[in-house]
Chain A
Amino acid sequence: MLSVITTVAIIAVLIKETVGFFTMADHPEISVWSFFTGTEWSPLLGAKPLFGVLPLVCGTLLVTVIAGLFAMPVGLLTAIYLSEYASQRVRTNLKSVLEILAGVPTVVYGFFALTFITPFVLQPLWSGFGTYNAMAAGIAVGIMILPIVCSLSEDALRAVPQSLRDGAYALGSTKFDVTIKVVVPAGLSGVVAAFLLALTRAIGETMIVALAAGGLAQLTVDPSAQVQTMTAYMVQIFLGDAPAGGVEYRSSYAVAFTLFLITFVMTWTGAIILKRYREEYD
């Protein structure tokens, strides 16, 4: 019951503030349409602040995509290793480590991005990386979600019954055949659900991007550039001194609402997929 109240409350508050944002009388140029499709975002600068949300969404997407490109392959392959190749001892040890890692505060990854990834990994590779760049944040977010991807995928793969593997071996499969052609397809729903969950966490991640990605909202796909994500923007507003009823303040509510929508849809999709995967073995 409480949860329903909470959901309703979240939605109510966000709607109230967002509506308030869009109906500010003294900024008639702001409309829902221009919010969702406008490509410039500079609410705090200039005489005519602009409120197109796309640069923020783009920043979030850029960081998330980098994170996903790192975490999904590495996570899945590690999960395959743990489930199909590793001995029992290695598996339990590594799983405990993964469990602990899943609890590391995200500021730690942000710190790592700022003080290690950028100066020692990225900048030696190419001098075009500034102190704040999307790549470092993306990699750090990827490292953050790696334990989730790995742990949940491994659960999904282990849930595939041994009888299927036996059947495949009896037909003359190599381990490659069994793993790639039988086990992974059989566990696919669980793996996809794991990916979705991890990406949802990545999208909602705040501290890493606030520390390492920068504060300049721009519409770009250049990983060496600064970007600002939706979450980082909200941090910026709340850290600052914007007045409680002001435009900038309400804009962060609108951003929060957008963020909430995106993650809600993703979680919903993940739950549906997961339900389907649970039914397959009954």
Chain B
Amino acid sequence: MLGKPISQSKKMRLNRMLMIGCLAATTIAVLVLSALLVSIAIEGTSSLSWSFLTSFASRKPSQAGILAPLMGSVWVCTICAVVAIPVGISTAIYLEEFARRSRVKRLIQLNISNLSGVPSIVYGILALVAFVRFFGIRPSDEPWTFGNSQSIWYLQIPFGPSVIAGGLTLALVVLPIMIISSQEALRAVPPSLRQAALALGSTQWQVVWRVTLPAALPTMMTGAILSMSRAIGEAAPLLVIGGFLLVFQTPANLMSDFTVLPLQIFNWSGRPQADFHKIAAAAILVQLVVLLAFNSIAIIIRQKLQRPLQS
């Protein structure tokens, strides 16, 4: 026989090395992530209390609370969801069900996936010019106003650094992800379902509305929830458009100033005093609990509502 044999012990050695390497890496990964959680938990749990959740920020760490950022997050994310989810789903439906396979469609598709890789801060800059300043068509000290400032629906154009601007910014960030995940949900619906409906004489619109969309809905909802959980954690773009770091009231209408929980965490983390670090950790814990809640809902939906589409 040609060649020199490779010994069995060498093969066993390589085999074992690979397994050890993989196990080591997994252990490192798990350890590091546990260290993250544990260190934060240690720092933060002492500061968690009901008053923490319901008071406002203050100069003294012991009296500070996260009510303003919590409410700000709620407002901003609600606006984001209201805008991004319908637009995302309808764009996905258009792209998957109605658009012809053409170069234009492929271009759009490529565009969307490129946009999903853009750093969120860049969206903040775009939003700054587009929503906050409205491309400069109107100076911000003489805005057009709609409605009275007592109601929630008070609007000013340009928006200025307000809740609605924040919500729209986040919607921009989240939109590509929404579109992509909704498209995949639609793609997962087996063509046999659509064909059966068409064979019964439905129009394409009816097929989508009555067959495809309901079938894809659970997956889409999971995607929506995961997108929103990403939105809750975004800080950089909101910072750019002017989410203030220190806000002492909850938003009263669409034009209010605001801050969100991640920004508050950022603010407190950046202070040199250790006490601020403690409450930052506590705020992180709240944020993580919210994140977990969202993810759990998504997982539950995925498990319960996702009946198999093919038997």
Q: Is B284's CB within 8 Å of the partner chain A?
A: yes
Q: Is A77's CB within 8 Å of the partner chain B?
A: yes
B125 & A103 in contact (Cβ 8 Å cutoff): no
- CB-defined interface of A196-228 with B at 8 Å, one 1/0 digit per residue? 010011011111001100000000000000000
Cβ-defined partner of B119 (8 Å) among A114, A211, A259: A259
A200 & B265 in contact (Cβ 8 Å cutoff): no
B235 & A106 in contact (Cβ 8 Å cutoff): yes
Residues of A within 8 A of B122 (CB): 10, 14, 204, 256, 259-260, 263
Complex Cα distance, B126 from A77, in Å, reads 39
Identify the closest chain A residue to B230 (Cβ).
Answer: A103
B117 & A266 in contact (Cβ 8 Å cutoff): yes
Of A73, A105, A115, A176, the most chain B CB neighbours within 10 A belong to: A105
Expressed in whole angstroms, the minimum distance between the Cβ of A87 and any Cβ of chain B is: 13
Identify the closest chain A residue to B104 (Cβ).
Answer: A4
Residues of B within 8 A of A57 (CB): none
A239 & B115 in contact (Cβ 8 Å cutoff): no
A231 & B236 in contact (Cβ 8 Å cutoff): yes
Identify the closest chain A residue to B118 (Cβ).
Answer: A263
B121 & A3 in contact (Cβ 8 Å cutoff): no
Residues of A within 8 A of B294 (CB): 103
Indicate whether A260 sits within 8 Å of B118 (C-beta atoms), given known contacts A80-B22, A107-B265, A112-B39: yes
Q: Which stretch from A43-51, A93-101, A163-171 is at the chain B interface? A: A93-101
Q: Which stretch from A21-29, A33-41, A267-275 is at the chain B interface? A: A267-275
Expressed in whole angstroms, the minimum distance between the Cβ of B278 and any Cβ of chain A is: 10
B39 & A115 in contact (Cβ 8 Å cutoff): yes
Q: Tell me if A's interface is mostly helix, strand, loop or mixed.
A: helix
Q: Is B78's CB within 8 Å of the partner chain A?
A: no
Identify the closest chain A residue to B14 (Cβ).
Answer: A176
A3 & B108 in contact (Cβ 8 Å cutoff): yes
B253-310 contacts to A, CB under 8 A, are 262, 265-266, 269-270, 277, 280-281, 284, 287-288, 291-292, 294-295, 299
Q: Is A143's CB within 8 Å of the partner chain B?
A: yes
Residues of A within 8 A of B19 (CB): 85, 175
Cβ-defined partner of B25 (8 Å) among A81, A101, A177, A260: A81
Expressed in whole angstroms, the minimum distance between the Cβ of B44 and any Cβ of chain A is: 10
Q: Which stretch from B26-34, B54-62, B189-197 is at the chain A interface? A: B26-34
Indicate whether A78 sits within 8 Å of B29 (C-beta atoms), given known contacts A3-B115, A114-B269, A204-B120: yes
Q: Could you tell me how many residues of chain B have their Cβ less than 8 Å away from some Cβ of chain A?
A: 77
Q: Is B137's CB within 8 Å of the partner chain A?
A: no
Complex Cα distance, B285 from A111, in Å, reads 12
Q: Is B24's CB within 8 Å of the partner chain A?
A: yes
Residues of B within 8 A of A174 (CB): 11-12, 14-15
Expressed in whole angstroms, the minimum distance between the Cβ of B123 and any Cβ of chain A is: 8
- CB-defined interface of A55-96 with B at 8 Å, one 1/0 digit per residue? 000000000000000000111111011101100000000101
A4 & B111 in contact (Cβ 8 Å cutoff): yes
Q: Is B36's CB within 8 Å of the partner chain A?
A: yes
Complex Cα distance, B122 from A260, in Å, reads 7
Expressed in whole angstroms, the minimum distance between the Cβ of A133 and any Cβ of chain B is: 16
A13 & B129 in contact (Cβ 8 Å cutoff): yes
B265 & A108 in contact (Cβ 8 Å cutoff): yes
Expressed in whole angstroms, the minimum distance between the Cβ of B28 and any Cβ of chain A is: 6
Complex Cα distance, B43 from A143, in Å, reads 20
Expressed in whole angstroms, the minimum distance between the Cβ of A83 and any Cβ of chain B is: 10
A3 & B111 in contact (Cβ 8 Å cutoff): yes
A105 & B232 in contact (Cβ 8 Å cutoff): yes
Expressed in whole angstroms, the minimum distance between the Cβ of A156 and any Cβ of chain B is: 16
A270 & B117 in contact (Cβ 8 Å cutoff): yes
Residues of B within 8 A of A94 (CB): 26
Identify the closest chain B residue to A103 (Cβ).
Answer: B229
Q: Which stretch from B145-153, B171-179, B203-211 is at the chain A interface? A: B171-179
Indicate whether A107 sits within 8 Å of B36 (C-beta atoms), given known contacts A13-B126, A268-B114: no
Residues of A within 8 A of B126 (CB): 6, 9-10, 13
Q: Is B87's CB within 8 Å of the partner chain A?
A: yes
Cβ-defined partner of B29 (8 Å) among A110, A150, A231: A150
Residues of B within 8 A of A206 (CB): 119-121, 235-236
A107 & B266 in contact (Cβ 8 Å cutoff): yes
Complex Cα distance, B270 from A84, in Å, reads 43
Expressed in whole angstroms, the minimum distance between the Cβ of B166 and any Cβ of chain A is: 14
Expressed in whole angstroms, the minimum distance between the Cβ of B249 and any Cβ of chain A is: 21
Cross-chain pairs A/B with CB under 8 angstroms, 19 sampled: A4-B107, A13-B129, A78-B25, A81-B22, A85-B22, A103-B229, A103-B291, A105-B291, A111-B280, A114-B269, A115-B43, A115-B269, A115-B277, A174-B15, A204-B117, A204-B120, A231-B121, A259-B121, A271-B110
Query: With contacts A9-B130, A267-B113 known, what are 11 further pairs, Cβ within 8 A?
Result: A2-B87, A2-B175, A3-B108, A10-B122, A75-B29, A77-B26, A111-B40, A112-B36, A116-B36, A175-B15, A206-B119
Mark B residues whose CB is within 8 Å of A: 11-12, 14-15, 17-19, 21-26, 28-29, 32-33, 35-36, 39-40, 43, 87, 91, 107-108, 110-126, 129-130, 172, 175-176, 179, 226, 229-230, 232-236, 239-240, 242, 245, 262, 265-266, 269-270, 277, 280-281, 284, 287-288, 291-292, 294-295, 299
